[in-house]
Amino acid sequence: MSSMLGQGPPEAVVETEWAEAERRRSLTWRQRLSRFDLKASPYLYISPFFIVFGIVGLFPLVYTLYVALHDWDLLSGKEAFVGFENFAWALGDQFFWNSIVNTVSIFLLSTIPQLIGALVIAALLDQQIRAKTTWRMGVLLPYVVTPVAVALIFSSVFRNAGDASLANNIVEALGFEPIEWKRERLPSHIAIATMVNWRWTGYNALILLSAMQAVPRDLYEAAAIDGAGAIKRFFSVTLPSIRPTLIFVVVTATVYGLQIFAEPRLYDVSNAGGIGGADRQFQTTVLYLWELAFFRRNSGRASAVAWLLFLLIISIGLINFVISKRLVAGEGENQLSRRERRALARAEKDRKAVAR
């Protein structure tokens, strides 16, 4: 009953629908084209991205899974469907787990110091210093250098004991024995992580700097009035304010760190064909994948390893997404900290005093 009362008399509804249909028929083709353009143009504008992604991203991903399910030789091609045998073989191969351990080790040695260094550099560049542009360009220069050049340079810096190298000269000057930078596991991981840190620290510092410059200066002034020093302001104001950007840097560093290839590949090319050392002491997962595909010419197993690495990256990415979502949600709920509330209360008090 109430619905009928809300709709009005049936004659009025029919008349309204007839008028709308008549108005649509009276539209010219230009007007119809204009209306279609307004509705369809947004999808047309974003379609190039999805088309390119489908060709160079989605299709290779699906095709790699197809190859992983077959006994596929690099030269002879597909032979037989084997299901998940390639995945089972990879999970049972000791060299696969060795590459996972090496990848995680290099990732931890590179990501943690890299983020700490980027935060320190960004905080220094955020201060009132002279020649800001020069310093910002300077910290970005290592990122411009190609990974091949970086690997060749640091391969000469970190050499084994008995070979002249800058790293061992410094170690001996400090009173220690020279280090086997390429033969031992941990020293080789430190050397490769040093390459990654040298190249990416400045780049991440500029990303964090852009986030720091977006922090309202009133928050720093309110914290200074409350007696907070520079270090306390950094931890209580700066870090909470740049939390989303910091999480983005962590995610990108994680994705790159788990896919590292050029640095270990070129670190010691004279030994074992550049597969990660004679004992595979610094062979990463991507380097192991490369060995399967181009040395052993087994594309099926290499594709299975690629998918296992992809699932590992997705898992870590989802964990980072959940953590970042909770942190950002918590930041939104607690957007006004105690210092911010004090600053707002003080501003409101001053406003009332001026109004009186």
Residue 82 lies in a domain: no
Q: Are residues 96 and 23 in the same domain?
A: no
pLDDT tens digits for 89-123?
999 999 999 999 999 999 889 888 998 999 999 98
The one-letter amino acid code at 126 reads D
- What one-character-per-residue DSSP string does 119-184 give? HHHHHHHTSS-S-HHHHHHHHHHHHHS-HHHHHHHHHHHS--TTS--HHHHHHHHTT-----TTTS
The pLDDT value recorded for residue 336 is 46
| 1: confidence class by pLDDT, cuts 50, 70, 90 | very low
| 86: confidence class by pLDDT, cuts 50, 70, 90 | very high
206, 136 Cβ separation under 8 angstroms: yes
Residue 249 lies in a domain: yes
Q: Are residues 115 and 220 in the same domain?
A: yes
Determine the Cα–Cα distance for residues 99 and 102; give it in Å rounded to an integer.
5
The pLDDT value recorded for residue 37 is 63
Structure tokens at 317: 């990415």
Q: Give the residue among 10, 227, 201 at the shortest CA–CA distance from 119.
A: 201
Average confidence (pLDDT) over 82-86 = 90
| DSSP state letter for 74 | T
| 290: confidence class by pLDDT, cuts 50, 70, 90 | very high
| 43: confidence class by pLDDT, cuts 50, 70, 90 | confident
The most confident of 96-105, 152-161, 239-248, by mean pLDDT: 96-105
Domain coverage including residue 111: 88-355
Average confidence (pLDDT) over 158-164 = 80
Longest dimension (CA), the chain: 101
The pLDDT value recorded for residue 2 is 46
Q: Are residues 16 and 107 in the same domain?
A: no
Spell out the residues 6+ positions from residue 291 whose beta carbon is closer than 8 angstroms to its own: 275, 283
The pLDDT value recorded for residue 42 is 77
168, 161 Cβ separation under 8 angstroms: yes
- % the chain with pLDDT above 70: 78
The pLDDT value recorded for residue 194 is 93
Residue 64 lies in a domain: no
Residue 274 lies in a domain: yes
Residue 73 lies in a domain: no
| 145: confidence class by pLDDT, cuts 50, 70, 90 | confident
Q: Are residues 98 and 242 in the same domain?
A: yes
Structure tokens at 297: 């010419």
114, 197 Cβ separation under 8 angstroms: yes
Determine the Cα–Cα distance for residues 282 and 261; give it in Å rounded to an integer.
11
| 337: confidence class by pLDDT, cuts 50, 70, 90 | low
The pLDDT value recorded for residue 100 is 93
- What one-character-per-residue DSSP string does 241-275 give? HTHHHHHHHHHHHHHHHHT--HHHHHHTTTSGGGS
Structure tokens at 343: 């600053």
In the block, residue with structure tokens 């970086």: 150
pLDDT tens digits for 304-325?
999 999 998 888 777 876 776 6
Determine the Cα–Cα distance for residues 66 and 77; give it in Å rounded to an integer.
12
Q: Are residues 143 and 279 in the same domain?
A: yes
The most confident of 27-31, 161-165, 281-285, by mean pLDDT: 281-285
The pLDDT value recorded for residue 96 is 94
Q: Are residues 47 and 119 in the same domain?
A: no
| Total domains in the fold of the chain | 2
pLDDT of residue 256 exceeding 70: yes
Structure tokens at 96: 């696969």
Average pLDDT, the chain: 81
Spell out the residues 6+ positions from residue 22 whose beta carbon is closer than 8 angstroms to its own: none
- What's the burial of 6, exposed, middle or buried (CB within 10 Å: 0-12/13-18/19+)? exposed
Separation of first and last alpha carbons in the chain: 58
Average confidence (pLDDT) over 212-222 = 84
Spell out the residues 6+ positions from residue 12 whose beta carbon is closer than 8 angstroms to its own: none
The pLDDT value recorded for residue 95 is 93
Residue 74 lies in a domain: no
Beta-bridged to residue 77, according to DSSP, are: 73
Determine the Cα–Cα distance for residues 166 and 179; give it in Å rounded to an integer.
11
- What one-character-per-residue DSSP string does 299-331 give? HHHHHHHHHHHHHHHHHHHHHHHHHHHHHHHHH
The pLDDT value recorded for residue 5 is 45
For the CA atoms of 346, 352, 355, 356, the dihedral, rounded to the nearest 10 degrees, stands at -120
pLDDT tens digits for 2-23?
444 445 555 554 556 555 555 5
Q: Are residues 44 and 156 in the same domain?
A: no
Collapsing DSSP to helix, strand or coil, 229 comes out as coil
Q: Give the residue among 182, 183, 177, 176 at the shortest CA–CA distance from 155.
A: 182
Q: Which range among 237-241, 282-286, 292-296 shows the weakest confidence by mean pLDDT?
A: 237-241
Q: Are residues 93 and 176 in the same domain?
A: yes
pLDDT of residue 355 exceeding 90: no
The pLDDT value recorded for residue 215 is 86
- % the chain with pLDDT above 90: 24
